[in-house]
């Protein structure tokens, strides 16, 4: 059986990303290190925060996944350009009432990718259907 879902930009996910990066910046300030290293790490953290907010929360970068199709044994993600990425869901994926974390293995890649979906990432009924399908209706890879 096939289920299609579209994603919206998520203010909640952007807040979580910025909060996590802010906490990392706050912790770095108390670490004794040369100023040049601190500045470099702060630049990297700033770049990381901007990149993940634009890609995962705002869905504005070309590589942002904006829709997905769940089929019996695979998941297909569609990015802003219309390109498809097919993979398998891992058992380490998390489904809760307020958060869905999809851990995906993509063929031909060493590392997988995680997709975080918050309740404001899609309409309420679609989010509920996604949680039900993931909890009861999709075969997960080991």
Q: Tell me the percentage of the chain whose pLDDT exceeds 90.
A: 76
How far is residue 77's CA from residue 73's CA, in Å, rounded to a whole number? 14
pLDDT for residue 103: 94
pLDDT for residue 82: 87
Asked if the structure places residue 142 within a domain, the reply is no
Is pLDDT of 9 > 70? yes
Asked if the structure places residue 116 within a domain, the reply is yes
**Considering the chain, what is the average pLDDT of its residues?**
92
Claim to verify: residue 39 and residue 96 sit in the same structural domain:
no
Asked if the structure places residue 122 within a domain, the reply is yes
Q: Which residue range forms the structural domain that includes residue 83? A: 3-8+65-136
The answer to whether 84 and 64 have CB atoms below 8 angstroms apart is no
Claim to verify: residue 32 and residue 73 sit in the same structural domain:
no
pTM of the model: 0.88
The answer to whether 104 and 114 have CB atoms below 8 angstroms apart is yes
* H-run or E-run covering 30: none
Across 30-46, average pLDDT: 95
Is pLDDT of 112 > 90? no
Asked if the structure places residue 112 within a domain, the reply is yes
Q: Tell me the percentage of the chain whose pLDDT exceeds 70.
A: 96
Is pLDDT of 109 > 90? no
Claim to verify: residue 82 and residue 103 sit in the same structural domain:
yes
How far is residue 37's CA from residue 19's CA, in Å, rounded to a whole number? 22
Claim to verify: residue 69 and residue 53 sit in the same structural domain:
no
- Largest interatomic CA distance in the chain: 57
Asked if the structure places residue 38 within a domain, the reply is yes
Asked if the structure places residue 141 within a domain, the reply is no
Claim to verify: residue 129 and residue 81 sit in the same structural domain:
yes
Across 39-55, average pLDDT: 97
Claim to verify: residue 83 and residue 104 sit in the same structural domain:
yes
Claim to verify: residue 75 and residue 34 sit in the same structural domain:
no
Asked if the structure places residue 20 within a domain, the reply is yes
Across 35-58, average pLDDT: 97
Claim to verify: residue 77 and residue 126 sit in the same structural domain:
yes
The answer to whether 73 and 139 have CB atoms below 8 angstroms apart is yes
Across 99-126, average pLDDT: 92
Claim to verify: residue 46 and residue 108 sit in the same structural domain:
no
pLDDT tens-digit series, residues 52-101: 999 999 999 998 999 999 987 789 999 998 899 999 998 899 999 999 99
How does 30-51 read in b/e, with b if 16+ C-beta sit within 10 Å?
eeeeeeeeeeeeeeebeeebee
The answer to whether 73 and 87 have CB atoms below 8 angstroms apart is no
Domain tally, the chain: 2
């Amino acid at each position: 059986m096939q289920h299609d879902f579209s994603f919206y930009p998520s203010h909640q996910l952007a807040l979580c990303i910025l909060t996590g990066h802010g906490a990392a910046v706050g912790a770095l300030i108390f670490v004794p290190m040369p100023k040049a290293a601190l500045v470099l790490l702060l630049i990297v953290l700033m770049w990381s925060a901007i990149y993940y907010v634009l890609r995962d929360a705002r869905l504005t970068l070309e590589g942002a996944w904006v829709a997905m199709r769940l089929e019996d044994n695979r998941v297909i993600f569609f990015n802003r350009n219309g390109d498809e990425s097919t993979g398998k869901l891992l058992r380490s994926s998390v489904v809760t009432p307020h958060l869905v974390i999809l851990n995906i293995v993509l063929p031909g890649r060493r590392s997988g990718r995680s997709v975080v979906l918050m309740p404001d990432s899609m309409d309420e009924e679609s989010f509920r259907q996604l949680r039900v399908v993931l909890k009861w209706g999709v075969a997960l890879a080991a």
